[in-house]
């Protein structure tokens, strides 16, 4: 009855959540996290949605937890920034039904705008973090995360990375826990974070983390393999795999929980080994804490704070072996580019021809910064294009931005772009915003969103009209135009950009990849 | 003993699927397997590489340069890009597929890829495969399966588990053609263009 399947790390996380009895899962797509919610959506016992952004996703999960069911949100590392407002306070409130946030980091920056380490946020927010090292653990730790969440009355973060999320391994399926639901109990002192209540909850949070620090030394998700006592390595997550292959004889303490750190366990391990190394990707979260206890160890002196780790890198760091890197010389690269027939091509060709500057945003269209177009001037984060154009205008005057436009996709506009537009209208900005409306979240693999007309599990829905939404802000000049009609678009731009008020041009044409799939 | 395979190609050529088939074969024969995939930019003409590692227990999902037993290159430039991952006496499976990058970084597509590779590696050419063949990935997996000691039945079983009914027969046929290609090269190497030179 238990079936073994070759599961993607993200599928294993979804399976773990399913088996843990999760009832509600909310997410906004983002590489490398997207497949978690997509995979979970196949289980009809679980309500899954694409939320409008990571903040609404986490808040949805918090509400579901409050009501008494097990709930989760999943997102990429930069999505955690968007969700961090509710996250920090959810730590104070604790949970009713178990609450888990899956955060997928991207060491090596395969598909992100930065390389931040979620463990740093978790530390600041005082939220426990579990770190699986392979797909089987991804499933098992997800179940543990729900258990700890309820046991310690805290949200728990399951921390994964691109390499784990996008690795496949045989994983054994187990049955779903039938009933995990709890009754709802009104409790303002716990769930209304007024200053008077929050002060008390902060004390609870401190005590909870201290209790966890004491007790997590006994958690079975931490394991010790004593071998050669000359070299001891503390590691966790995917880095454990590199350690085992690079240093098969070393003694290894593999941490399943990395916030808080199991102090007793680490201290005992450190005492037994001669040389202690800490191997962790990105920030020295474990190392700094261990050193703060007066334990001598080496870590970031030997290994990088950036990029992905590898077997070679560890042998290089500890054994001083030369780095055996693949030799590709100055081979012609294959930079990603717009698909043949992509409507974004038409718009960027025109913008280049008209010599405009572009305040850009996050999506396929970020490629407009690369050859042959090279028209995008800045890209910060989801929704920032409209606001950065606004800031440019306020700094240098409205005449200065008369050869500028902001460009943003439909999904990104619904995510956080709308906030920038509200701000621009309210503060008497005069910018021109082009919304590239291809009807889908294309970059992450064609997920639906609030203005695409469908949901993840609930079938079709009336799409929120971007044009009507913009008009409702009081913007008089809102145009809908075929993205390939560059003649019309050029006329509109020549008219709109010099105008002393906000203009929105919605360039419509379906994503060519999606069109092909549907045909 | 861990066996390492790299499948290199261009977005849309089916390297992820090829990896899944090889991985399924490995675990169905009782081995532990880890497959590492690159998602994200793959649909936009980028270089796509999938790694499959199998054996008694696999730790790291990625093999290091100089450790790879078989490199399946679905495209010539990608063959050159990943060739240095091959170990001494490693096998390079190639076909006559050249795809110019959709976006250029100013570089030029190298002319003498085959000569360069033949000087260093065992190269097997699967020339009969027509360009843009949708089953190219499965055919080459078939040949690789032969190299790696899997049987025809292992492949058929893996396909049955991963392929929708409507495409199954086509994929089975492609796999068997690939597998037989490898068998032929073993029986009568002279008939095929197999280049063996010192590493």
pLDDT at position B24: 97
- Indicate if A481 and A362 belong to the same structural domain: yes
pLDDT at position B111: 87
- Is A168 in CB contact (< 8 Å) with chain B? yes
Q: Which residues of B touch A240 (CB under 8 A)?
A: 59
3-state helix, strand, coil in chain B (%, to 5): 40, 20, 35
Check A371 against B105: CB less than 8 A apart.
Answer: yes
For chain A, how many structural domains are there in total?
A: 3
Asked whether residue A275 is assigned to any structural domain, the reply reads yes
- Indicate if A379 and A497 belong to the same structural domain: yes
pLDDT at position A517: 59
pLDDT at position B131: 56
Which residues of chain B fall below pLDDT 50?
189-199
- Give A4's strand partners: A172
- Indicate if A62 and A208 belong to the same structural domain: yes
Lowest mean pLDDT among A244-248, A412-416, A443-447: A443-447
Closest Cα of chain B to A413: distance in Å? 20
Stretch A82-102: mean pLDDT: 98
Closest Cα of chain A to B184: distance in Å? 31
Closest Cα of chain A to B191: distance in Å? 32
- Indicate if A211 and A231 belong to the same structural domain: no
Percent of chain A predicted with pLDDT > 90: 93
pLDDT digits (tens, 9 = 90+) for A268-292: 999 999 999 999 999 999 999 999 9
Percent of chain A predicted with pLDDT > 70: 99
- Indicate if A175 and A254 belong to the same structural domain: no
pLDDT at position A344: 97
- Indicate if A377 and A494 belong to the same structural domain: yes
pLDDT, chain A, mean: 96
Asked whether residue A334 is assigned to any structural domain, the reply reads no
- Indicate if A356 and A463 belong to the same structural domain: yes
Check A168 against B44: CB less than 8 A apart.
Answer: no
Q: Which residue of A has its CA nearest to B21?
A: A6
- Indicate if A376 and A269 belong to the same structural domain: no
pLDDT at position A149: 98
pLDDT at position B40: 55
288-347 of A, contacting B, C-beta below 8 A = 310-312, 324-328, 330-340
Interface test mutation site (partner B, options A4, A5, A6, max chain B beta carbons within 10 A): A6
User: In A96-174, which residue ranges form alpha helices assigned H by DSSP?
Assistant: 118-125, 135-152, 162-165
Residue A493 has pLDDT above 70, yes or no: yes
Asked whether residue A463 is assigned to any structural domain, the reply reads yes
- CB-nearest to A336 from B24, B44, B109 is B44
Asked whether residue A36 is assigned to any structural domain, the reply reads yes
Distances (CA, A) of A485 to A347, A409, A482, A493, A504: 9, 18, 5, 12, 16
The model's confidence at residue A29, banded by pLDDT at 50, 70 and 90, is very high
pLDDT at position B129: 59
Torsions phi, psi of A388, nearest 5?
-70, -35
**Residue tagged 């880095």 (tokens):** A239
User: Count of alpha carbons within 13 Å of A120, Cβ hemisphere only?
Assistant: 13
User: pLDDT: is B102 or A345 the higher one?
Assistant: A345
Candidates A82, A119, A75; CA nearest to A282 is A119
In order of their start, the domains of chain B are 3-98+111-195 (3.40.920.10)
Distances (CA, A) of A244 to A6, A65, A302, A337, B75: 22, 38, 17, 38, 34
Candidates A414, A505, A478; CA nearest to A451 is A414
User: Which of A195, A218, A241 is the endpoint of a domain?
Assistant: A218
- Indicate if A380 and A290 belong to the same structural domain: no
pLDDT at position B194: 38
The model's confidence at residue A363, banded by pLDDT at 50, 70 and 90, is very high
User: Which of A218, A245, A277 is the endpoint of a domain?
Assistant: A218
Whether ipTM exceeds 0.90: yes
Strand order in the sheet with A99-105: A47-50, A24-27, A71-76, A99-105, A156-161, A129-130, A257-259
CATH number at residue A276: 3.40.50.920
Asked whether residue A326 is assigned to any structural domain, the reply reads no
Distances (CA, A) of A162 to A377, B45, B61: 28, 20, 12
User: Which of A285, A319, A353 is the endpoint of a domain?
Assistant: A319
Q: Helix A118-125 and helix A285-292: axis angle, to 10°?
A: 50
Candidates A145, A141, A160; CA nearest to A212 is A145
Candidates B195, B45, B67, B10; CA nearest to A315 is B67
Q: Do A276 and A270 meet the contact criterion of CB atoms below 8 Å apart? A: yes
Asked whether residue A330 is assigned to any structural domain, the reply reads no
A-B CB pairs within 8 A amount to 133
Residues 6+ apart with CB under 8 A from B14: B74, B136, B137, B138
pLDDT digits (tens, 9 = 90+) for A299-333: 999 999 999 999 999 999 999 999 887 777 788 88
Q: What is the pTM of this model?
A: 0.96
pLDDT digits (tens, 9 = 90+) for A246-270: 999 999 999 999 999 999 999 999 9
As a residue count, chain B comes to 199
Closest Cα of chain B to A445: distance in Å? 8
- Is B77 in CB contact (< 8 Å) with chain A? yes
Residues 6+ apart with CB under 8 A from A507: A343, A347, A434, A435, A436, A437, A481, A482, A483, A489
- Is B152 in CB contact (< 8 Å) with chain A? no
pLDDT at position A148: 98
Q: Which residue of B has its CA nearest to A135?
A: B34
Q: Which domain holds residue A489?
A: 343-518
Stretch A413-435: mean pLDDT: 98
- Indicate if A232 and A138 belong to the same structural domain: no
The model's confidence at residue A519, banded by pLDDT at 50, 70 and 90, is low
- Is B23 in CB contact (< 8 Å) with chain A? yes
Q: Do A38 and A3 meet the contact criterion of CB atoms below 8 Å apart? A: no
Helices then strands, each counted (H, E), chain A? 21, 19
- Indicate if A192 and A231 belong to the same structural domain: no
User: pLDDT: is B107 or A31 the higher one?
Assistant: A31
Closest Cα of chain B to A507: distance in Å? 21
- Indicate if A116 and A150 belong to the same structural domain: yes
pLDDT digits (tens, 9 = 90+) for A455-466: 999 999 999 999
Closest Cα of chain A to B57: distance in Å? 11
User: pLDDT: is B115 or A222 the higher one?
Assistant: A222
Interface test mutation site (partner B, options A38, A110, A334, max chain B beta carbons within 10 A): A334
- CB-nearest to A167 from B34, B41, B44 is B34
pLDDT at position A211: 98
Asked whether residue A324 is assigned to any structural domain, the reply reads no
CATH number at residue A372: 3.40.50.970
Asked whether residue A332 is assigned to any structural domain, the reply reads no
């Amino acid at each position: 009855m238990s079936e073994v399947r070759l599961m993607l790390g993200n599928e294993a996380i979804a399976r773990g959540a399913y088996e843990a009895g999760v009832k509600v899962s909310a997410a906004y797509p983002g590489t490398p996290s997207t497949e978690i919610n997509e995979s979970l959506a196949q289980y009809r016992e679980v309500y899954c949605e694409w939320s409008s952004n990571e903040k609404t996703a986490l808040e949805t999960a918090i509400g579901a937890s409050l009501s008494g069911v097990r709930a989760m949100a999943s997102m990429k590392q930069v999505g955690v920034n968007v969700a961090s407002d509710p996250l920090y306070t959810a730590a104070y409130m604790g949970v009713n039904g178990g609450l888990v946030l899956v955060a997928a980091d991207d060491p090596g920056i395969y598909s992100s705008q930065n390389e931040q380490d979620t463990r740093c946020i978790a530390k600041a927010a005082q939220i426990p973090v579990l770190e699986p090292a392979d797909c089987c653990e991804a499933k098992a730790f997800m179940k543990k995360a729900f258990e700890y969440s309820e046991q310690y009355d805290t949200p728990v973060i399951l921390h994964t990375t691109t390499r784990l999320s996008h690795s496949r391994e045989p994983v054994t399926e187990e049955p779903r826990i039938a009933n995990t639901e709890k009754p709802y109990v009104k409790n303002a002192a716990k769930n209304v974070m007024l200053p008077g209540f929050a002060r008390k909850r902060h004390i609870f949070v401190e005590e909870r983390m201290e209790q966890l620090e004491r007790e997590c030394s006994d958690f079975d998700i931490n394991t010790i393999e004593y071998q050669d006592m000359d070299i001891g390595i503390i590691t966790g997550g995917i880095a454990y795999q590199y350690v085992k292959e690079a240093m098969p004889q070393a003694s290894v303490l593999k941490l399943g929980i990395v916030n808080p750190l199991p102090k007793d366990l680490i201290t005992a391990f450190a005492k037994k080994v001669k040389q202690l190394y800490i191997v962790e990707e990105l920030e020295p979260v474990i190392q700094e804490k261990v050193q703060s206890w007066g334990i001598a160890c080496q870590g970031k002196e030997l290994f990088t704070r950036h990029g992905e780790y590898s077997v070679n890198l560890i042998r290089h760091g500890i054994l001083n072996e030369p780095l055996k890197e693949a030799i590709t010389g100055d081979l012609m690269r294959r930079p990603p580019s717009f698909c043949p027939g992509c409507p974004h091509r038409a718009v960027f060709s025109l913008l280049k021809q008209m010599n405009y500057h572009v305040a850009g945003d996050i999506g396929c269209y970020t490629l407009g910064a690369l050859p042959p177009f090279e028209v995008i001037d800045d890209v910060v984060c989801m929704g920032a294009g409209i606001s950065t154009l606004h800031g440019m205008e306020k700094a240098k005057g409205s005449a200065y931005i008369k050869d500028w436009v902001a460009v943003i996709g439909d999904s990104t506009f619904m995510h956080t772009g709308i906030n920038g537009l509200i701000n621009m209208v309210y503060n008497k900005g005069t910018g021109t915003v082009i919304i590239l409306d291809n009807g889908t979240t294309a970059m992450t693999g064609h997920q639906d969103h609030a203005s695409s007309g469908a949901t993840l599990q609930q079938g079709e829905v009336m799409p929120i009209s971007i044009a009507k939404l913009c008009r409702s802000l009081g913007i008089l000049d809102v145009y809908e135009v075929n993205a390939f009609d560059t003649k019309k678009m050029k006329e509109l731009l020549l008219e709109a950009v010099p105008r002393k008020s906000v203009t929105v041009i919605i360039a419509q044409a379906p994503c060519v990849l999606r069109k092909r799939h549907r045909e | 003993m861990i066996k390492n395979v790299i499948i290199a190609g261009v977005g849309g050529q089916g390297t992820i699927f090829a990896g899944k088939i090889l991985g399924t074969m490995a675990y169905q024969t009782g081995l532990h397997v880890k497959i590492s995939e690159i998602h994200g930019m793959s649909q936009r003409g980028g270089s796509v590489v999938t790694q499959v590692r199998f054996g008694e227990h696999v730790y790291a999902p990625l093999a290091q340069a100089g450790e790879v037993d078989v490199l399946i290159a679905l495209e010539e430039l990608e063959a050159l890009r990943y060739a240095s991952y091959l170990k001494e006496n490693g096998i390079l499976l190639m076909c006559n597929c050249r795809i110019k990058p959709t976006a250029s970084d100013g570089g030029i597509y190298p002319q003498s890829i085959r000569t360069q590779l033949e000087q260093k590696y065992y190269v097997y050419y699967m020339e009969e495969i027509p360009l843009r063949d949708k089953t190219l990935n499965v055919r080459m997996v078939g040949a690789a399966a032969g190299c790696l000691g899997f049987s025809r039945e292992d492949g058929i079983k893996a396909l049955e588990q991963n392929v929708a009914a409507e495409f199954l027969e086509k994929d089975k046929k492609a796999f068997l053609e690939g597998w037989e290609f490898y068998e032929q090269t073993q029986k009568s190497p002279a008939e095929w263009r197999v280049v063996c030179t010192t590493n």
